[in-house]
Structure 1
């Protein structure tokens, strides 16, 4: 297996640092946080009532009437919602419309995910949503009460980030390409259930499709899997999406928690748990993700697993991404809130370092991008970067079977990462 390494210029890590700063999902408490959790605080009935009213109003907007309801083994409730009544169609530019028909896939595309039909726990009962509906994970009052900010529930926090790694730092092991015009990206990622040390940390593996400067106009499209006890209330790895057009300030959200992403299929529920998962020295299960820009209408489409079209982000949601992306990033991210003053033991990927290789470390394989002519092509300049390599690391390579790939991850706190 021949390894392919790229020497990184001093500019690149700074460039990526700006991206990582704006791609944070750190659940720090803001002025909008739930105020009355602490035992030393006074119970204020008026404020509690106001908060509950806000939650009730938000739930009535997020949760649409269902024609069928499915109880998932993990406790989720999946609502089958008529496709043109899903949250996306609350958007002024989509009101009264219906989901678009599927576009042509990029040339050179063949679905390559290992998993077939039963890729989510809610499907294991054999139940499914009827044609003409989309499966949506129901948001509960408990979900919103767990959130660090009720008003910004479903969004990444809008905040200034300190540069030192000791303040709720986000840590990354990523591969990325930049310096060209990109019209999509594809990768296969093996799915794990990493241990997350506390409710306000998470572990994720995803793709970022990025455009704009790294100021207030940053545009991103994101998809992958995450373990987030705060968002979902458990430790299952879950399929997720995200988007923003203003560096996470006022636009965008996770999954279908705001109007934006249009779901078009009745088989995959965004935000639902993925099953099965990979095991150390055992079976490896991966998902294939493809994001690409439809040349005809300009919308960004998402495919999950073995050829299942999930839906699309309408092009009008974006500014810079109406044209193309200027960077694509793949990899893992965790939050290190330094519980008890030590580095967190939250795991990235499998919880094992890249050097352990197949069956033990996490991987991204068959990394590709989409060019201006809607062709899937190999990466020509993949760079890899781990910002805390004693805690989580990354090793890239290339071969004839996996194309561009990398192993990544780690255990977090260990003798070299105190």
Structure 2
């Protein structure tokens, strides 16, 4: 599909953006996707309904700052030393093959969008936090590593996939993700991607799913999960934010997935790649400071402690501490890398662990163990236990 598109699609897009612009403000959440009727709808083996929507009619182009946006279909440049996605270490199994499901694919010229309602209050209340800001009053708890002190243009990691138990009585989630953050004079911008289990967001569904998030004002008014507000421009026809991901099994098969966020040096858009698929990008115009690069990178796990009198029983990672065992027992992040200000791919030389409640959720840092496993740490825990109440 060329960037000019067909005349018909362009006219239709302009009309739709005009209509949507009256409904969607910058960063606001909409209960249903207000896109045009899909060209095709897929129901996958999990019961999800996935709409194949005309590229120009996706939610992103309803953003006031993107009405005349000149889009990209792939990054303009990639560092030549970007390491391969597939792990070669014998302790790591091959990454799962991802798709929209066994019941079909979206046609060229469309993008897949997971259909479904949501409570907008869940979005604004649940993700207003950042590990390094230590928002203890927000109920967020972490086991992450952080690095700062330079300008960064990308971040990647091989995430171990799990399906943690999330307390059904709380508006909570459990996730493993990476953050690229710009924090200049308190103006916090982020792009975030990984896997999560978030029952309240997905109408009770407890499967592990791919997710994205962004904010341009420190989680106050802008940003959202997946495509629930205009901003992220999707280009993939094969994979959609919100897609179900397979999970590892305790002392059994271990599954891993590579996530990579990357600032294009020509356009300054922040791109997302999952495995070998470019999902799309966050345009530079929706940010205030992140367009020039990130000032901090973070990787790890997060939960919400929604308990009022006792600690939540929500798992982080596999629900087991690294002290109980490593591969097959606790969850891991592998092959941590970053893209420096000269667009050279680097391994961290040092990071700072952030583990505010190690008796509830802990982290064991190994550093660079070599091979494609690279810079590695294990994390997680069960939440409420004899030492965590």
Common fold: TM-score over 0.5:
yes
Q: Give deviations 1:140-189, integer Å, cap 9, x for gaps.
A: 3xx33xx5x2xxx6445597999895x66211000111111111101010
Which residue in 1 is equivalent to 2:380? 409
Q: Give deviations 1:192-237, integer Å, cap 9, x for gaps.
A: 110001241110111110012473x211111011111111121111
Which residue in 2 is equivalent to 1:330? 299
CA distance in 2, matches of 1:368, 1:158: 25
Runs of 4+ in 1 over 6 A off after TM superposition: 158-164
Asked if structure 2 preserves the Cα contact closer than 8 Å seen for 1:62 and 1:139, the reply is no
CA distance in 2, matches of 1:160, 1:102: 30
Which residue in 1 is equivalent to 2:12? none
Deviates further, 155-164 or 359-368: 155-164
Asked if structure 1 preserves the Cα contact closer than 8 Å seen for 2:96 and 2:255, the reply is no
Q: Matches of residues 73-112 of structure 1 in structure 2 within 5 Å? A: 73-95=45-67, 97=69, 99-103=71-75, 104-112=77-85
2:247 is aligned, of 257, 277, 287, to 277
CA distance in 1, matches of 2:135, 2:57: 45
Asked if structure 1 preserves the Cα contact closer than 8 Å seen for 2:259 and 2:274, the reply is yes
Q: Matches of residues 48-197 of structure 1 in structure 2 within 5 Å? A: 58-59=30-31, 62-95=34-67, 97=69, 99-103=71-75, 104-113=77-86, 114-117=94-97, 119=98, 122-123=100-101, 125-140=102-117, 143-144=118-119, 149=121, 154-156=123-125, 169-197=139-167
CA distance in 2, matches of 1:286, 1:133: 28
CA distance in 2, matches of 1:95, 1:332: 36
Q: Give deviations 1:293-337, integer Å, cap 9, x for gaps.
A: 1111111111002x1000011111111111111100000011112
CA distance in 2, matches of 1:186, 1:77: 30
Asked if structure 2 preserves the Cα contact closer than 8 Å seen for 1:155 and 1:254, the reply is no
Asked if structure 1 preserves the Cα contact closer than 8 Å seen for 2:129 and 2:140, the reply is no
Which residue in 1 is equivalent to 2:317? 349
Segments of 5+ residues of structure 2 without an aligned counterpart are: 1-28, 87-93
Which residue in 2 is equivalent to 1:10? none
Q: How many residues align?
A: 346
1:222 is aligned, of 182, 192, 205, to 192
CA distance in 2, matches of 1:412, 1:60: 33
CA distance in 1, matches of 2:85, 2:110: 26
Q: Counterpart of 2:82 in 1: which secondary structure? A: coil
Which residue in 1 is equivalent to 2:9? none
Asked if structure 2 preserves the Cα contact closer than 8 Å seen for 1:108 and 1:376, the reply is yes
CA distance in 1, matches of 2:151, 2:134: 29
Aligned-residue Cα RMSD (Å) equals 2.4
How far apart are 1:109 and its partner, in Å? 1.6
Asked if structure 2 preserves the Cα contact closer than 8 Å seen for 1:99 and 1:263, the reply is no
How far apart are 1:259 and its partner, in Å? 1.2
How far apart are 1:73 and its partner, in Å? 2.5
CA distance in 2, matches of 1:197, 1:407: 22
How far apart are 1:78 and its partner, in Å? 0.3
Q: Cα gap change, 1:183/1:413 in structure 2, threshold over 3 Å: closer, same or farther?
A: same
2:222 is aligned, of 242, 251, 255, to 251
TM-score of the aligned structures, taking structure 2 as reference length: 0.83
CA distance in 2, matches of 1:241, 1:279: 24
CA distance in 2, matches of 1:214, 1:92: 25
Q: Counterpart of 2:60 in 1: which secondary structure? A: helix
Asked if structure 1 preserves the Cα contact closer than 8 Å seen for 2:142 and 2:302, the reply is yes
Q: Cα gap change, 1:282/1:330 in structure 2, threshold over 3 Å: closer, same or farther?
A: same
TM-score of the aligned structures, taking structure 1 as reference length: 0.78
CA distance in 2, matches of 1:301, 1:175: 22
Q: Counterpart of 1:231 in 2: which secondary structure? A: coil
